Structure 1
Amino acid sequence: MDTSRQLYELGATGWRRGLYDDVEHTFRAPIVNWIFRTATANLPGFTRYAWGQVKPLFETRAFAECSVAYRDAVLSALEAEERGPLPTLRKPTTGLSPAEYAQLRGQVATFDVVAPRLAVLFEVMDRALHEEPLGTDVADDRATTAPFPEHLDRDRGVAPTMADDVPGEIVETVDEIRAFHGFEGESLPSIYRCLCQWPGYLEPAWEALEPRFEGSGFEAALERGSAVVESFVDGAPYRPALGPGALDAAGVGDAGEDARELFRSFNGGPVETVLPALPVWAATVGSEGERSL
């Protein structure tokens, strides 16, 4: 599987374009993340089938409660440290124009929206593809299968744009970010390629956040965020059929091994620290979402 091969939104046609539209609508964010672009480019039939299996989970009130609980778990753990509130960077601190600062806030809000959705997606896909237990502790309450609240996260972010290269003045900062998350070579997650557009923000923000990310508060945030995700998946009201037998029956069994490897690699490693960091970055500019329903 060539993970450098991606199908971008502008190149998507037919059902692929429709699937991307559906992902954006269901995730309530104007972005089709790398995992979808790569899976669609390499494993199109599997991706179409798998999305139909997992989509209903994201349309429940139970997931809405999970999404706000995930954000609150991460931010509360950091706020509980002796260091106190998370740092915030107002526009004058960054040297950005009003329009630039507005774009920064809107784009970071988009990543804040997708953080819990990707965390749940990776956990569900990994378990289902390996036929590991999920949906074994389903709650008997209305939220379990009730619809996702219409207002939550709707139209909150704007479509992210990415820097083509790392600006010279923040090369050292970006190297530190890579080292913290454990990325090798020139790899850099989308959130940071996005933030590289605004060196006046990224450099002081990293200087303020690095001690928090390296501290015990973020360790607690990782544990609490993971616990929220696992609790939701344990209580998932629907069980995606993604085991070898189900994939064979759907005619996409040949993609199974590649899919299992892809999603297991994303349900661990550097992503474990990248996703919980997303609401933290949003909080620095006041664009984090709701923390309770």
Structure 2
Amino acid sequence: MAETALSEVKEADATGVISEIYADIRHALRVPMVNLIFRHMATVPGCLEWVWGTLGPIYTTGQVITAAETLLADRKPLPLHFSASEIASWNIDTAAVARTCESYGRANPVNLLGLKALQFIMVESAQARARRKPARGQPLKAPAVELPLLPPMADMATLTGEVKTTLLALTQQLHGHDGRVIPSFYRHFTAWPGLLAGLRTQLQPLIDSGSLMEAADALNRNAHGAARMLYLDSPVTRIEPPSDAVLASLTELIDLFPPNICKMTLIARALGAAIRAQP
């Protein structure tokens, strides 16, 4: 698999408005990290500012969070069959792993709906290009909340050896030869290579049987309908069109990310359920 990972502005490197928007995202979602989709948007001038200026209200009011909870309310986690002895052999911090699963299981479906709502918005934007005005994209101040601590996210540029090989193998397992999206979720677990290897082993039967893809496709379809309702019922219908560069970047991201987000939502929930089920 070619290593052509998407560029990103890391949370530690963010400054100015980007840093403020990152803080808003964390507080609105009540998670301690900013997902890759936003970190990549930050590399395109004006993109994250426009997106957050557009979608921010449905995040900070909780509309999209409520919709995401409803989307997953009756969906059982996919089965992962780890034995207690196998998990013990990984020597992991089970509480930290569970927090990471919970954080991504919460943020991913919210961002899935946000991206799909954005898709509807962009259709409207294309129709409104003749009356374009500069997008302000100001941060929206969400109330401060105490956020859980997660294991640090590994920097792909510094990873080497078996851990990097396993991480790339997990990526290829899901995405084939497309190495652009290396899941941030996995990058929190590089201190525990046994966990990554065990997860890869357990996921393979779900991939081979089609269970993971079937569940991901169903989630993607249901999210499309839920996002349309968000679009129709929320302030995001009254927006200023983005620049051509932002529009081109978002069009590519909306094609790339939703299927990946669906799969990673299911994997985070499955791993979290398996960890919590241990005595």
Verify same fold: TM over 0.5: yes
TM range (shorter): 0.7 to 0.9
1:113 paired with 2:106, answer: yes
Distance change (3 Å), C-alpha of 1:242 and 1:266 = farther
2: CA distance, partners of 1:124 / 1:88: 37
Please tell me the residue identity of whatever aligns with 2:269: P
* Aligned with 1:191 (options 185, 191, 205): 185
1: CA distance, partners of 2:177 / 2:152: 21
* Aligned with 2:219 (options 225, 234, 245): 225
Greater CA drift, 11-20 or 260-269: 260-269
Please tell me the residue identity of whatever aligns with 1:198: W
TM-score, with length taken from structure 2:
0.73
Could you tell me how far 1:119 is from its partner in structure 2?
1.0
Distance change (3 Å), C-alpha of 1:74 and 1:162 = farther
* Aligned with 1:127 (options 113, 120, 124): 120
1:207 paired with 2:208, answer: no
* Aligned with 2:271 (options 281, 284, 288): 281
Could you tell me how far 1:221 is from its partner in structure 2?
1.8
2: CA distance, partners of 1:108 / 1:167: 25
* Aligned with 1:266 (options 256, 269, 276): 256
1: CA distance, partners of 2:12 / 2:148: 22
1:158 paired with 2:169, answer: no
Q: Is the 8 A contact 1:6 1:40 kept in 2?
A: yes
Deviation string 1:85-108 (CA, Å, 9 cap, x unpaired) is 54245476342446x333322223
SS in 2 for 1:41: coil
Please tell me the residue identity of whatever aligns with 2:273: A
SS in 1 for 2:275: coil
Distance change (3 Å), C-alpha of 1:69 and 1:130 = same
Q: Which residue pairs with 2:35 in the alignment?
A: 33
Distance change (3 Å), C-alpha of 1:266 and 1:74 = farther
Could you tell me how far 1:173 is from its partner in structure 2?
7.7
Greater CA drift, 116-125 or 185-194: 185-194
2: CA distance, partners of 1:89 / 1:154: 33
Could you tell me how far 1:118 is from its partner in structure 2?
1.9
1: CA distance, partners of 2:70 / 2:99: 21
2: CA distance, partners of 1:7 / 1:219: 30
Deviation string 1:122-163 (CA, Å, 9 cap, x unpaired) is 21222222339xxxxxxxxxxxxxxxxx9xx97456364226
2: CA distance, partners of 1:242 / 1:39: 21
Distance change (3 Å), C-alpha of 1:205 and 1:26 = same
Q: Which residue pairs with 1:145 in the alignment?
A: none
2: CA distance, partners of 1:156 / 1:71: 22
Greater CA drift, 158-167 or 8-17: 158-167
Residues 233-272 of structure 1: pairs in structure 2 closer than 5 A:
233-236=227-230, 237-241=233-237, 246-247=240-241, 252-268=242-258, 270-272=260-262
Distance change (3 Å), C-alpha of 1:186 and 1:171 = farther
Residues 135-150 of structure 1: pairs in structure 2 closer than 5 A:
none
1: CA distance, partners of 2:222 / 2:82: 26
Distance change (3 Å), C-alpha of 1:268 and 1:155 = closer
Distance change (3 Å), C-alpha of 1:181 and 1:223 = same
Q: Which residue pairs with 2:169 in the alignment?
A: 175
Q: Is the 8 A contact 1:222 1:276 kept in 2?
A: yes
Could you tell me how far 1:61 is from its partner in structure 2?
5.4
Q: Is the 8 A contact 1:67 1:117 kept in 2?
A: yes
Deviation string 1:225-253 (CA, Å, 9 cap, x unpaired) is 2243223212112152587xx22xxxx52
Please tell me the residue identity of whatever aligns with 2:44: N
Residues 69-108 of structure 1: pairs in structure 2 closer than 5 A:
69-75=70-76, 78=78, 85-88=79-82, 90=84, 93-97=87-91, 100-108=93-101
Deviation string 1:13-57 (CA, Å, 9 cap, x unpaired) is 2222211110111121111122222222222x3421321211222
1:66 paired with 2:62, answer: no
2: CA distance, partners of 1:165 / 1:276: 26
1: CA distance, partners of 2:170 / 2:148: 30
2: CA distance, partners of 1:70 / 1:52: 24
The answer for unaligned runs of 5 or more in structure 1 is 79-84, 133-149, 288-293
SS in 2 for 1:261: helix
Sequence identity percentage: 17
Distance change (3 Å), C-alpha of 1:267 and 1:73 = farther
Please tell me the residue identity of whatever aligns with 1:238: S
